[in-house]
Amino acid sequence: MAAPPHPRSTREKLLDAALATIRARGYAATTVEEICAAAGVTKGAFFHHFRNKEDLGVAAADHWSATTSDYFRTADFHRHADPLDRILGYVDLRRQLVRGALADFTCLVGTMAQEVYQSHPAIRDACGRSISAHAATLEADMEAAIAARAPDCNVTAKSLALHTQAVIQGAFILAKATGDVATAADQIDHLRRYLALLFSVPTGA
C-alpha cells in the first residue's frame, strides 16, 4: 500500500504488464520474457522481484484485487441512500464497463482461475480470495435489501452477492466465445432484472 506517486516502480511495471498480457493470452501462454518486454526490463529484474512464474501469478492476482477494489470503493454508486439503489448502481456500472476490447474489461482472476485451479493451488487461492472479497463488498447492502424488501425469500446475502459475480464472469465467457460484446451486456441486464424481480421493483413492462 501507499505506492510511490509518479515514477512507477519496476515491480509495478512488471505487474501491470502481467495483467495486460495474461488477460489477453492467459497465464500458461504468457512467457516471462513477454512480460519483461512489455515492462521494458530484462529477466534479471523479473527474477529479482519474483521467485518464479507462479509467484508472479499470485502477485498479479493480489495486484488486481488492490486495483479493482480501489476502483469500486471510490465509485459513484455509493452516493445512493437506499441499499438497493446502491446494488443496482453497482450492476449498472458493471454493465457500462462492458465495452471496447475484450482484454480491457474482462476479469483477470476469473481467467486465471479457470486455467490453474488444479495445477497451481496458490494462484487459484489468490483468485478465489479476490472474487470472494469483491463479492463481500456487496453483502451488507444485499442483507439490507433482503430484510427490507424480500424478508420471506430464502436467499442469503452472500449467495446473492456471489451470483452477481457468476453472471458477470459468465458474461465474459460468452463475449469471448461469441466475439459479441453486446451478448455480454445482455447478461448483466438479466442480472438486473432478476434483482428487480426479487426485490419487487416495478420495471415497466
Supply φ then ψ for residue 202, to 5 degrees.
-65, 130
Number of residues forming the site for DNA (CB under 7 A): 18
Q: At what angle do helices 83-97 and 157-178 cross, to 10 degrees?
A: 10
49 touches, from a second copy, DNA, none (C-beta below 5 to 8 Å by class): DNA
Residue 128, binding choice from a second copy, DNA, none, Cβ under 5 to 8 Å by partner class:
a second copy
- Shortest distance, position 119 Cβ to DNA, whole Å: 11
Q: Do the Cβ atoms of 41 and 13 come closer than 8 Å?
A: yes
**Alpha carbon of 41 to those of 36, 45, 59, 67: distances in Å?**
5, 6, 18, 22
The kind and range of the H/E element at 118 are: none
Residue 197 touches which member of DNA, a second copy, none, C-beta under 5-8 Å by kind = a second copy
**Residues whose CB falls within 8 Å of the CB of residue 205, separated by 6 or more in sequence, listed in order:** none
Cα distance between residue 60 and residue 49, in whole Å = 12
Nearer to DNA, 39 or 168 (CB): 39
Least CB distance to DNA at residue 52 (A) = 3
Contact with DNA (CB under 7 A): which of 17, 18, 41, 116?
41
What single-letter DSSP state applies at residue 49?
H
Q: Pick what 22 binds: a second copy, DNA, none; C-beta below 5 to 8 Å, kind-dependent.
A: none
Query: Rounded to the nearest whole angstrom, what is the least distance from the CB of residue 120 to DNA in the complex?
Result: 11
Using the rule CB under 7 A, give the single segment among 36-44, 99-107, 151-159, 174-182 that binds DNA.
Answer: 36-44
Neighbours of 13 (CB within 10 A): 18
Note the residues at the interface with DNA (CB under 7 A).
9-11, 30-33, 41-45, 47-49, 52-54
